[in-house]
Amino acid sequence: MLSVTATSATKYLLEDPCSLYAQSSANPERLQSDGWGMGFYVDGALNLVKSDRPVYEERGKFTSAARQVDSEVMLAHIRRASNPRNLPREKIISIKNSQPFKYQNYLFAHNGTIALPDEAAESLGEWKQRIEGLNDSEVYFWYIMKAMAEGSSLREALREFERDLEQLWQDNRRKHPGKDRPYVGLNALLSDGEKLYAYCKCHEKDGPMRSLCLGDQPVFQMSYLISPTRLVVASEKTNRGDNWKPLKSGQLLTGMIRNREVSIEIIEIA
C-alpha cells in the first residue's frame, strides 16, 4: 500500500472478507503456512517484522503488528514455501527465509518459484555473498538489487532477469529432467520508501489455477485499487465491493505521490 499520509492497512490485512490473513487459510490445499512479514517506513526509515510461523496460528501477533503500523508505504507477505532444490523442510523455513527482504531502503517480495536458484545465484558475482537463506526468491531479490546498483532501471533489471533465467534454463535443463520451465511466476513488489512498484509476470506454461480466496481470477494475475489518497496492490483483491482493476502478465505498475495525490504509470515489459 502507498498512501499520501501515514495510514493503517488493517482493512486489507485483517478486516476484508479476503484480507491477507483470510487468504492464508482460505484454501486448505494451498495453506500459506511458512512464515509472514511486514515492511514499512517510519520517518523514512525502513522497519521489518517477520515470523517463520503460519500467520493463521499467530493472529494475535499479526494483528498487533498490523494495528501498530501507520505508514505511507506498507508491504506485507505470507508464504507458502517453494522448494526447487528439494531440501528438507526445516532448512527452508526460518526468519531469514521469510519475506519481505530488505537492502538499504529497499523492500522486496516475490510470489513464484525460480526453478534453478543455484545457477541463477552464480550470475551474481560478489553479490552472491549477500544471500542469507535458502529461499529461491532471495536470488531474484539480489539480482534486481545488483542490476539497479550497476545502473539498470527496474524495467531493464526485470527484463534482464527473465532473459538470463531463460538462458540458464537452455544451458542446464538436461541436468533437471523433472522441471519443465525456468520459473513459475515472477510477480514482485518493490519499494524504496517513496514509490511502490508492482510487476506481474507468469510463465506461458502456468496452468489454470485460480486465486486463493475468491477464486475469480488467474492465480498470477494481480489486482490494484487506486484513489487520490491511496494505492493498494495485491496478489488478489481482498473484497468484491471496491473497484479493483487487474494487473496482467507483463505489466509493471509504478505508484507515486505527485502534488499530494497518488498517481500510477503502467508499462508493458516485453
- Look up the CATH number of the domain holding residue 101: 3.60.20.10
How high does pLDDT run on average in the chain?
96
Q: Which domain holds residue 86?
A: 2-268
Mean pLDDT for the stretch of residues 126-148: 98
pLDDT of residue 206: 81
Question: What grid cell was written down for 17?
Answer: 472478507
Between CA 99 and CA 88 the distance in angstroms is 19
Between CA 182 and CA 28 the distance in angstroms is 27
Mean pLDDT for the stretch of residues 211-219: 94
pLDDT of 11 over the 80 cut: yes
Between CA 260 and CA 5 the distance in angstroms is 9
Percent of the chain at pLDDT above 90?
96
| Per-residue model confidence as pLDDT tens digits over 101-125 | 999 999 999 999 999 999 999 999 9
Residue 208 binned pLDDT confidence (cut-offs 50, 70, 90): confident
pLDDT of 204 over the 90 cut: no
Question: What grid cell was written down for 211?
Answer: 486465486
pLDDT of 222 over the 90 cut: yes
Q: Which among 115, 206, 204, 190 has a CA at the least distance from the CA of 154? A: 190
How wide is the angle at C-alpha 155 spanned by C-alphas 144 and 105, nearest 5°?
Answer: 45
| Per-residue model confidence as pLDDT tens digits over 26-36 | 999 999 999 99
Between CA 54 and CA 34 the distance in angstroms is 5
How wide is the angle at C-alpha 78 spanned by C-alphas 74 and 79, nearest 5°?
Answer: 140
pLDDT of 55 over the 80 cut: yes
Compute the half-sphere exposure of residue 42: CA atoms within 13 Å on the CB side of its CA. 8
pLDDT of residue 122: 97
What is the dihedral sign for C-alpha 227, 24, 219, 115? positive
pLDDT of residue 152: 98
Predicted TM-score (pTM) of this structure: 0.97
pLDDT of 255 over the 80 cut: yes
pLDDT of 205 over the 90 cut: no
Percent of the chain at pLDDT above 70?
100
- Give the Cβ contact number of residue 126 at 10 Å: 7
pLDDT of 207 over the 80 cut: no
Compute the half-sphere exposure of residue 56: CA atoms within 13 Å on the CB side of its CA. 17
Residue 188 binned pLDDT confidence (cut-offs 50, 70, 90): very high
Cβ-based neighbours of 99, under 8 Å, separated by 6 or more:
35, 37, 50, 77, 79, 108, 109, 110, 135, 137
Mean pLDDT for the stretch of residues 127-146: 98
pLDDT of residue 107: 98
For the chain, give the number of residues. 270
Radius of gyration, alpha carbons of the chain: 18
Q: Which among 16, 128, 133, 146 has a CA at the least distance from the CA of 76? A: 16
Q: Please state the domain count of the chain.
A: 1
